[in-house]
Amino acid sequence: MANQHQDKKDGLYQFFEGAKPRDFKNDFDESLFNTKAHRMLQSSNKWHSFHLLRKDKKKVVASIHFCLMEDTAISPVRAPFGSFEFSNAVTTKCLFDFIQFVEEKLVKYGAKKILIKCPPEKYGVNHHNKLSVLLFNHQYQIGNAELGACVQISTTPFEEVIDGWERRKLKQSLKANLNFKIIPTGHLNEVYDFILACREERDQTLSMTYKELNATVKKLQSHFVLFGVYQATDLIAASIAIKVNKKVLYNFYSAHTKSSDPLSPVVFLLGEMYHWCSKHRFDILDLGTSAWGGKPNFSLIDFKLRLGAALAMKLTFEKILT
């Protein structure tokens, strides 16, 4: 189950398969989608977990989890991303060798193809660049590329982050005396139905059913935040957001009613979410990817850029094994 690798410069490391040893702690901020609780919601099939251990410090310095679906090893099965997560302290050589170790194990389990869906580069540019190059070095190819958009949270007020056109829309919302509220997760059904109805107005759908999302929220309630914008007592815009880790809030689902278009409540909503992130010490508000029918949704991308977001590559790597 385990294999050791000696790196004289960085000390003793161990390649390990299975649940991480109880006396070891992660030396990185594990994302929600890679936690055991979330993985079990994605699939109850057999998962294969791999860790790079720093034995002398009792630290897990890198991890990845795969579910083997027929002859394809996938990280993740159903989540925005999985992939390798690793410490700032892990050496490039050890990470390179760890990738090879994982691949050799998956081959033994019958995998003929590997898919690795990575987080947006803005979650950690240095990590993204290091991992991408090492995967290329191992002959992985890009199977899919998406454009994400992330807003960097700073002390700069939201109205100074956005461009002039969106600033005018924000002023319209403020003149309309819209109200922003945090909605208890016990009202998930109301928020989900509202967002679904708004999407259906635009001939769009949602990737999860209410039953699926409700099961996830019940299991991982502390990771979800519901935001709403009201005109008097009427809900006109809402967001279901996910605390991906200690630094990233992901705007998972959001929408507004067509009838409220003149008020631009989504700009007001995202502005309040920006302030919420600042108050709770989040560094990034992830606005998600922008695609429709497998192609970039250019108008949506432009809108996110006007809100002060920066584009971020979101790559899926794949490799056919021989």
pLDDT in tens, the chain (322 residues): 444 443 333 458 999 999 999 999 999 999 999 999 999 999 987 899 999 999 999 999 999 999 999 999 999 999 999 999 999 999 999 999 999 999 999 999 999 999 999 999 999 999 999 999 999 999 999 999 999 999 999 999 999 999 999 999 999 998 998 999 999 999 999 999 999 999 999 998 999 999 999 999 999 999 999 999 999 999 999 999 999 999 999 999 999 999 999 999 999 999 999 999 999 999 999 999 987 777 889 999 999 999 999 999 999 999 999 7
User: 189 and 214 in contact (C-beta within 8 Å)?
Assistant: yes
> What is the pLDDT, as a whole number, of residue 318?
98
- Report the alpha-carbon angle 252-288-295, nearest 5: 120
DSSP 268-309: HHHHHHHHHHHHTT-SEEEEEE-EETTEE-HHHHHHHHHTT-
Class of domain 2-145+315-320: alpha beta
Distance CA 8, CA 63 (A): 22
Confidence (pTM): 0.93
User: 49 and 19 in contact (C-beta within 8 Å)?
Assistant: yes
**Range(s) for CATH 3.40.630.30 in the chain?**
154-282
Bridge-partner residues for 69, per DSSP?
A: 72
User: 215 and 44 in contact (C-beta within 8 Å)?
Assistant: no
User: 76 and 82 in contact (C-beta within 8 Å)?
Assistant: yes
> What is the pLDDT, as a whole number, of residue 11?
55
Give me 283's structure tokens.
Answer: 């560094």
- The CATH code for residues 154-282 is 3.40.630.30
SS3 state of residue 112: coil
User: 286 and 119 in contact (C-beta within 8 Å)?
Assistant: no
Give me 115's structure tokens.
Answer: 């898919």
> What is the pLDDT, as a whole number, of residue 291?
79
Give me 279's structure tokens.
Answer: 């108050």
DSSP 250: E
- Report the alpha-carbon angle 37-41-46, nearest 5: 90
